[in-house]
């Protein structure tokens, strides 16, 4: 059960939820699953070779594509035994021999065949004027990169509390933080999604932990900060600097705290994502049916020098800004993941309020992209509050293409389900072909578009920003690097050096192989410019 719980958290919870609730209409629930109880062999086959057919779970049809998962026979046995004995399921055990027998009847007859299909993909062509190389292969699923920006030590954050230091010169990879180091948290029950390094060499890490309770399950979110250095000069002993909580989201939509960065003003900025897909109330009373709360779907600003920091809300209506960055004129932009509806993903321009002013609202959950505020993306879309003077919501950046468009037309801002991730600004010290523009990674589709086989992402885009006379921002967008294995972060590591963090290995939805940890790639400018 313990081994199975750890494997579930690493390989299954992303889609099926930490407590097996799934996502209605998209990813089937594993909790109290009538299909699981009646289709033991198909459940095994789905893990070892993938599932690409319609199934009906608890009366609801599901027809998404599940990839094969990179687990050997004993690991499949462990994880299915854990699921069968959790969340109201009937119990029982699955043996490794049973898994082996089912695997032999599928397209991947051995785990070795599956693993070979999921190996690292060849490097894509380097952009003109750059070289590209594989820097390091990871043993865990990395989500963020941090460094001092001088091309020395690179820090890699895993999704479950591990942190690794990679020495670029020597090629040495060393784990410096483990989940057990986060005092007050339970390993396997919390997630780490954001990390930044300060001028003193300390790491600041955002944390979300699901805590069962009465009457509501809560998200205990926090910012941890390292407090000491080891003999090698690496930051250690993370301790809570800020702690707060709110009701856990509607099943899998608890996006929580993610990106954390220092602004040009020296203040600390944090993205706090939504607890709903699009403002729904959900059907489980213990998950809280109040929609968004004051601390969610917003951007925070905090004083890093404060002993008891106060959360200041600087923008509202931002669904899930996985990353943000400032341009050369200190303008702040975010990139957000959109809803399950076929709505565009947004890049938003954030104007922090002046003292005494209310923060601007960017539309979530009432409006997506630049569609009319009267458009109902869902039946449950809540009624917007009364409009005040002027425009009700700040419109996103308009993408003029040619890359990242939705259905071939200019959109605000990226094609649906492409999942924008890491965002960086390239200033005047970069080659002319890319200077004064943003790079943004796109993790890649989990859901296909309305056209058969349509998928987006698995790339890094370049955005050349322009501001119109009416104040609205536009972007001329081109593909910078593709295809990639779900790029989840982009980081400037020093003069002329960029790092791209691949979350996993497949570069599209067509392959049948599932999840294995990714790698870090290095882009270096050729010569001098």
* Residue pLDDT tens, the chain, 529 long: 999 999 998 888 878 888 898 877 678 999 999 999 899 999 999 999 888 778 899 998 887 668 788 899 999 999 999 999 999 999 999 999 999 999 999 888 999 888 877 789 999 999 999 999 999 999 889 999 999 877 678 999 999 999 999 998 888 999 999 999 999 998 878 999 999 999 999 999 999 999 988 899 999 999 999 999 999 999 999 999 999 999 999 878 899 999 999 999 999 999 999 999 999 988 888 999 999 999 999 999 999 999 999 999 999 999 999 999 999 999 999 999 999 888 999 999 999 999 889 999 999 999 898 776 667 788 888 777 765 444 578 999 999 999 999 888 899 999 999 999 999 999 998 999 999 999 999 999 876 555 555 678 999 999 999 999 988 999 999 999 999 999 999 999 888 999 999 999 888 877 666 678 899 999 999 976 4
Instruction: Give SS3 for 114.
Output: helix
pLDDT, position 372: 66
Distances 57 to 74, 220, 285, 446 between C-alpha atoms, Å: 26, 31, 21, 20
Q: What angle do the packed helices 40-49 and 96-103 form, to 10 degrees?
A: 70
Q: Where are the domains of the chain?
A: 2-116, 397-510+518-529
Task: Tell me if 1 sits within 8 A of 85, measured CB to CB.
Answer: yes
Q: What is the pLDDT of residue 449?
A: 55
CA angle 122, 124, 126 (to 5 degrees): 135
Q: State residue 451's pLDDT score.
A: 53
The CATH fold assigned to 2-116 is: Cytochrome Bc1 Complex; Chain D, domain 2 (1.10.760)
Residue 293 backbone phi and psi in degrees, to 5: -115, 180
Maximum separation of any 2 CA atoms in the chain, in Å: 68
Using alpha carbons, select from 318, 251, 255 the residue that is nearest to residue 287.
251
| Rounded-to-integer distance, Cα 399 and Cα 392, Å | 21
Q: What is the DSSP string of 205-226?
A: EEEEEEE--SS--EEEEEEEEE
Residues in the chain: 529
């Amino acid at each position: 059960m313990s081994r199975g719980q750890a494997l579930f958290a690493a390989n299954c919870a992303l889609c099926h939820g930490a407590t097996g609730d799934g996502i209605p209409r998209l990813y089937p629930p594993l909790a109290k699953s009538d299909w699981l109880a009646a289709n033991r062999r198909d459940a095994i086959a789905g893990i070892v070779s993938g599932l690409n057919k319609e199934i009906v779970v608890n009366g609801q049809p599901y027809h998404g594509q599940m990839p094969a998962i990179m687990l050997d026979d004993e690991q499949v046995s462990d994880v299915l035994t854990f699921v069968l004995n959790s969340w109201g399921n009937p119990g029982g055990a699955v043996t490794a021999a049973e898994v082996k027998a089912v695997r032999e009847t599928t397209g991947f007859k051995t785990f070795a065949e599956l693993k070979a299909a999921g190996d690292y993909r060849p490097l894509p062509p380097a952009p003109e004027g750059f070289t590209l190389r594989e820097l390091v292969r990871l043993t865990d699923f990395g989500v963020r990169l941090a460094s001092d920006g001088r091309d020395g030590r690179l820090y890699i954050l895993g999704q479950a509390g591990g942190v690794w230091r990679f020495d670029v010169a020597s090629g040495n990879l060393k784990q410096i933080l483990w989940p057990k180091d986060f005092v007050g948290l339970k390993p396997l029950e919390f997630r780490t999604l954001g990390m930044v390094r300060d001028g003193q060499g300390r790491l600041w890490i955002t944390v979300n932990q699901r805590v069962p309770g009465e009457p509501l399950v809560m998200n205990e979110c926090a910012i941890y900060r390292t407090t000491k250095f080891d003999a090698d000069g690496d930051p250690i002993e993370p301790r809570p600097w800020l702690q707060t909580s709110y009701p856990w989201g509607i099943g899998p939509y608890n996006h929580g705290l993610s990106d954390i960065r220092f602004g040009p003003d020296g203040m600390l900025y944090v993205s706090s994502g939504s607890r709903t897909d699009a403002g729904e109330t959900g059907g489980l009373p213990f998950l809280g049916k109040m929609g968004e709360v004051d601390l969610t779907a917003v951007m925070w600003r905090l004083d890093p020098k404060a002993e008891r920091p106060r959360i200041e809300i600087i923008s509202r209506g931002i669904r899930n800004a996985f990353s943000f960055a400032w341009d050369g004129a200190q303008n702040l932009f975010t990139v957000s993941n959109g809803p399950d509806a076929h709505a565009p993903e947004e890049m938003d321009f954030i104007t922090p309020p002046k003292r005494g002013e209310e923060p601007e609202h960017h539309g979530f959950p009432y409006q997506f992209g630049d569609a009319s505020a009267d458009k109902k993306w869902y039946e449950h879309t809540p009624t917007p509050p009364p409009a005040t003077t002027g425009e009700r919501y700040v419109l996103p950046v308009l993408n003029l293409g040619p890359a990242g468009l939705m259905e071939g037309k200019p959109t605000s801002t990226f094609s649906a389900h492409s999942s924008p991730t890491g965002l960086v600004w390239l200033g005047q010290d970069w080659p002319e072909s890319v200077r004064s523009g943003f790079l943004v990674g796109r993790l890649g589709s989990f859901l296909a578009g309305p056209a058969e086989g349509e998928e987006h992402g698995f790339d890094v885009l370049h955005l050349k920003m322009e501001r119109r006379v009416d104040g609205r921002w536009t972007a001329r967008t081109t593909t910078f690097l593709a295809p990639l294995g779900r790029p989840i972060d982009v980081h400037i590591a020093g003069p002329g050096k960029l790092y791209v963090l691949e979350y996993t290995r497949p570069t599209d939805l067509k392959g049948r192989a599932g999840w294995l940890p990714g790698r870090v790639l290095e882009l270096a400018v050729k010569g001098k410019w």
